[in-house]
Amino acid sequence: MKNLTIYFIILISSIACTNERFDSKVEIQKGYYLTSQNDKLGLIDTQDEIIIPNEYEEIEFNGSRAMTKKNGLFGLIDIKGNIIIPNEYEEIKFDGSSAMTKRNGLFGLIDIKGNIIIPNEYEEIEFDGSIAITKKNGLVGLINNQGKIIIPNEYDTMKIDGSKIVVTKNEKSEIIEL
């Protein structure tokens, strides 16, 4: 009877340790659980196998991908734990198949796989459909959503009016047709 009691205590202790492995565990999708440990988030499966270690400040799932925040920087990871976009951006804002990024105070554009479309070298990027007015070194230009420069950053101001672009440089205006 004494051996049975000791075995029972050891069994209960091991179950308690397993359950105390995480501060919290919440199912986010069938078979996947968001975990918290020491104020850091991670992901496990139904067998408590670690898929994403508890090292993130934030994890926000959208389908099979998750926006993550680590050391104050954002990235993207899939539900299998593969890093798609490393945590190196101050901001990431997804819009369909691409995302506006901010790194070192400068803006750029990446696709959903993390490929750079527009490098992070612009002070501002303002999209209007498939084209964007960019600002670099205080001057504006025009770029498309594939990263092709349409008008170099040489102008003081720029306004898009249908297929016409009104630009000014040194207080002189001109119209550029697209």
The CATH number of domain 1-88 is 2.40.10: yes
Query: Tell me: the pLDDT tens digits for 55-82?
Result: 999 999 888 889 999 999 999 999 899 9
Identify which of 52, 85, 55 has the alpha carbon closest to the alpha carbon of residue 70: 55
Residue span(s) of the chain under CATH 2.40.10 come to 1-88
Q: What percent of the chain has pLDDT over 90?
A: 64
Residue 24 burial (C-beta neighbours within 10 Å; 0-12, 13-18, 19+): exposed
Query: Tell me: the pLDDT tens digits for 113-153?
Result: 889 999 999 999 998 778 999 999 999 999 998 999 999 99
Q: How many CB atoms lie within 10 A of CB 108?
A: 20
pLDDT at 8: 31
Question: What is d(CA 177, CA 121) in angstroms, rounded to the nearest whole number?
Answer: 26
Q: What percent of the chain has pLDDT over 70?
A: 89
